[in-house]
Structure 1
């Protein structure tokens, strides 16, 4: 909340040092989605998972750009469902880096940016 208020007060400034604490603007959802896809990160989820729906809302209109694998529609997407089994997905959402490192649960855009080594927006 404090961070949101600081960002609103900055109105257009991408970052500022305040009391020796850097405050950065949130990553652009479309740029982050494109970065995750280019980085070969995979996002596993389920259409009926409320946490996955919330995760998608964080990306707004860029949600369709995510490297998403649907785990709960085996009849419609059998290859994706098989990929979920191969990846041993036990909870949704699950994010996996190419090196196998995982994040389970809803991740903020900032956390995904850091975790995937995306350079912060200027």
Structure 2
């Protein structure tokens, strides 16, 4: 009985580590995300989203706080903080997140960091 409890506890800890993003402990992943964010900033990329958008929050989490803080985020909901809803309407942005890179709109409704790297011409490390 005690052995079964120990195994269950160990299994729970392993599952927790695997599902909470142990990859964040990987310095190469962090550096790749920072490099992609720097590249996107150099491309004057912008992410259009809303404060209530679950996919937008996921996109931010994929980058991590440090990398995402380097990027330009445009709030499209009129009720959001520092909102720029008029700009979003002018660009006809209706799905979130949407990325603007080089004057063109991409990833409407979200995409992976790899897809962002592809559409932006990123050539750096890809350990996202």
TM-score (norm 2): 0.65
8 Å Cα contact 2:95-2:109 kept in structure 1:
yes
After TM superposition, give the deviation of residue 73 of structure 1 in Å.
4.0
Structure 1 unaligned spans of 5+: 1-11, 15-24
Against the structure 1 CA distance between its residues 81 and 101, is the aligned structure 2 distance closer, same or farther, given a 3 Å change threshold?
Answer: closer
Distance 2:30 2:107 in 1: 19
Q: Which has the higher strand share?
A: 1
Which among 68, 77, 81 is matched to residue 73 of structure 2? Answer: 68
After TM superposition, give the deviation of residue 109 of structure 1 in Å.
1.2
Question: If you compute each CA radius of gyration, which structure gives the higher value, 1 or 2?
Answer: 2
**Residue 52 of structure 2: SS of its match in structure 1?**
coil
1:58 pairs with 2:58: no
Distance 1:50 1:102 in 2: 18
TM-score (norm 1): 0.68
Deviating beyond 6 angstroms after TM superposition, the runs of 4 or more aligned structure 1 residues are none
Q: Which has the higher helix share?
A: 2
Distance 1:76 1:67 in 2: 14
Equivalenced residues, count? 99
Structure 2 unaligned spans of 5+: 1-25
Distance 1:60 1:115 in 2: 20
> 1:7: which partner in 2?
none
8 Å Cα contact 1:36-1:67 kept in structure 2:
no
Distance 1:99 1:89 in 2: 13
Question: Aligned Cα RMSD in Å?
Answer: 2.6
